[in-house]
Amino acid sequence: MIRRFFAIFLFLITSQVLIAQVYNSSLIDWNFGKSIPNIQGLNGSFIGVHNNVLIFAGGANFEKTALIDGGEKIWHDVIYVLEDQEDWKVQEVKLPRKLADGVSIDTPYGVLCIGGSNADGIYKDVFLLKWDKSKNKIEIENLAPMPLPLAYMAGDKIGDIVYVLGGQKKVDGGATRSFLSFNFSQELLKKSGEWKVLSEFPGAARNYPIVVAQSNGHEDCLYVFSGTNFDPTASITHQMLYDVYEYHPLTKKWNEKASVPNNGTPNLIGGFIGAAPAIKMGDSHILLFGGAGGEKQPLSIRMGVHNEIRKIENLKDQNDEIKDKLNSLKEKEKRLIEETSFSKTIWAYHTITNTWAIKGELPDSTQVVTKALEWMGNIVIPGGEIRPGIRTSKVLIGKIKAHKPNFGVVNYITLIVYLLLMVLIGWYFSRKNRTTDDYFLGGGRIPWWAAGLSIYATMLSAITYLSQPALAYSFDWQAYLGYFTILMVAPFVIIFYLPFFRKLNVTTAYEYLEKRFNIAVRMFGSTSFVLFQMVRMGIVVYLPALALSTAIGIDIYLAITAMGILAILYTFMGGMEAVVWTDVLQLFILLGGLIIGLIYIAIDIGDVGYIYSTAFEDGKLQMLDLRFSFTEVVTWSLFFGSFALTLIPYTTDQTIVQRYMTTSSEKEAKKSIWLNGIIALPMGLLIFSMGTFLYVYFKEHPEYLMVGMKNDSVFPLFITDHLPAGIAGLVIAGIFSASMSSLDSSMHSVSTVVTVDYFKRFSKKYSEAKGFRVAKWTTVAAGIFGTLIACIMATFPVKSLFFLFQEVIGLFGSAIAGIFILGIFIKKANWVGTLLGAGLSIIVIVFVKYSTPINFYIYPLIAIPVCVISGFIFSLVFKTNEDKNINHLVYSKRKLEK
pLDDT in tens, 628-651: 887 777 888 888 988 888 888 888
- Residue 313 has what pLDDT? 62
pLDDT tens column, 357-388: 999 899 988 899 999 999 998 999 999 998 87
Q: What mean pLDDT do residues 345-363 have?
A: 93
Q: In percent, how much of the chain has pLDDT > 90?
A: 32
Report how far residue 645's alpha carbon sits from residue 483's, in angstroms, rounded to the nearest whole number. Answer: 11
Cα(467)–Cα(477) distance, integer angstroms: 13
Scored b (16 or more CB within 10 A) or e, 508-537 reads: bbbbbbbbbbbeebbbbbbebbbebbbbbb
CB atoms < 10 A from the CB of 401, how many?
Answer: 14
Judge whether residue 14 has pLDDT over 50.
no
Residue 494 has pLDDT above 80, yes or no: yes
The answer to whether the CB of 457 falls within 8 A of the CB of 675 is no
Query: Confidence band (pLDDT; 50, 70, 90) for 140?
Result: very high
pLDDT, position 294:
46
Identify the helix (H) or strand (E) that includes residue 716: helix 714-722
Residue 386: which region, alpha, beta or left (left: phi > 0; alpha: psi -120 to 50)?
Answer: alpha
Most confident of 53-57, 455-459, 627-631, 734-738: 53-57
**What region does 203 belong to: left with phi over 0, alpha with psi -120 to 50, or beta?**
beta
Average pLDDT of the segment spanning 863-887 = 86
Question: Is the CB of residue 372 less than 8 Å from the CB of residue 379?
Answer: yes
pTM: 0.82
Residue type, 328: S
Residue with the bigger pLDDT between 266 and 600: it is 600
Residue 547: pLDDT above 70? no
Mean pLDDT of 331-340: 56
Q: Decide if pLDDT at 800 tops 60.
A: no
Q: What percent helix, strand, coil does the chain show, rounded to 5?
A: 50, 20, 30
What's the pLDDT score for residue 335? 56
- The answer to whether residue 625 scores a pLDDT higher than 80 is yes
Residue 39 has pLDDT above 90, yes or no: no
pLDDT tens sequence across 147-170 = 999 999 999 999 889 999 999 999
Task: Report pLDDT digits (tens) over 432-441.
Answer: 666 566 655 5
> Alpha-carbon dihedral of residues 99, 103, 104, 105, nearest 10 degrees?
-160
Is 870 within 8 Å of 843 (Cβ atoms)? no
What distance in Å separates the CA atoms of residue 817 and residue 339, rounded to the nearest whole number?
73
- State how far the Cα of 86 lies from the Cα of 33, in Å rounded to an integer: 9
pLDDT tens by residue, 268-322: 566 788 899 999 998 999 999 988 764 444 455 555 655 666 666 666 666 666 7
pLDDT band at residue 420, thresholds of 50, 70 and 90? confident
Task: Give the mean pLDDT of 135-152.
Answer: 93
Q: Average pLDDT, whole number, for the chain? A: 82
For the segment 46-54, the average pLDDT, to the nearest whole number, is 95
Count of CB atoms within 10 A of residue 153's CB? 29
Structure confidence at residue 187 (pLDDT): 66
Give CA–CA dist 425/591, Å, rounded. Answer: 20
Average pLDDT estimate for 389-395: 90
CB 368 within 8 A of CB 412: no
Q: Which of 319-333, 360-374, 702-716, 798-812 has the lowest mean pLDDT?
A: 798-812
Instruction: Report CA 270 to chain centroid distance, whole Å.
Output: 31
Tally of CA atoms within 13 A in the half-sphere of 114 that contains its CB = 28
Name residues whose C-beta falls within 8 Å of residue 769's C-beta, 6 or more positions apart in sequence. Answer: none
Residues 482, 468: contact at Cβ < 8 Å? no
- Is 700 a residue whose pLDDT tops 60? yes
At a CB cut-off of 8 Å and minimum separation 6, what does 23 contact?
703, 704
| Amino acid at position 110, single letter | G
Winning range, highest mean pLDDT, from 265-269, 557-561, 731-735: 557-561
Neighbours of 579 (CB within 10 A): 31
Exposed / middle / buried, residue 302 (Cβ in 10 Å: 0-12, 13-18, 19+)? buried
Residue 16 has pLDDT above 50, yes or no: no
Q: Where are the alpha helices (DSSP H) in 606-665?
A: 608-617, 635-652, 654-660
The per-residue DSSP string of 64-105 comes to: SS-GGGT---EEEEEEEEEETTS-EEE-SS--SS--BS-EEE
pLDDT digits (tens, 9 = 90+) for 393-416: 999 999 988 777 667 788 888 878
Query: Which of the two residues, 382 and 627, has the higher pLDDT score?
Result: 382
Residue type, 527: T
More confident residue, 790 or 610: 610
Q: Residue 341 has what pLDDT?
A: 64
707/280 Cα distance (integer angstroms): 10
Q: Are 393 and 36 in contact (CB under 8 A)?
A: yes
Once rounded to an integer, what is the mean pLDDT over residues 659-671? 79
Which of 6-20, 471-485, 714-728 comes out lowest in average pLDDT? 6-20
51 band by pLDDT with thresholds 50, 70 and 90: very high
**pLDDT for 22:** 38
User: Bigger pLDDT: 23 or 855?
Assistant: 855
Instruction: Determine the 3-state secondary structure of 154 from DSSP.
Output: strand
Q: What is the DSSP string of 814-857?
A: HHHHHHHHHHHH-TT--HHHHHHHHHHHHHHHHHHHHH----GG
CB 47 within 8 A of CB 371: yes
Strands 88-90 and 74-83 come out as antiparallel
Tell me the pLDDT tens digit for each residue of 818-851: 998 998 889 889 999 999 999 999 889 888 887 8
The answer, yes or no, to whether residue 730 has pLDDT greater than 50, is yes
- Mean pLDDT within 591-603: 88
What was the pLDDT predicted at 2? 41
Most confident of 512-526, 573-587, 690-704: 690-704
Contact 223, 198 (CB under 8 A): no
- Least confident among 235-244, 285-294, 777-786: 235-244
Which 8-state DSSP code applies to residue 595? H
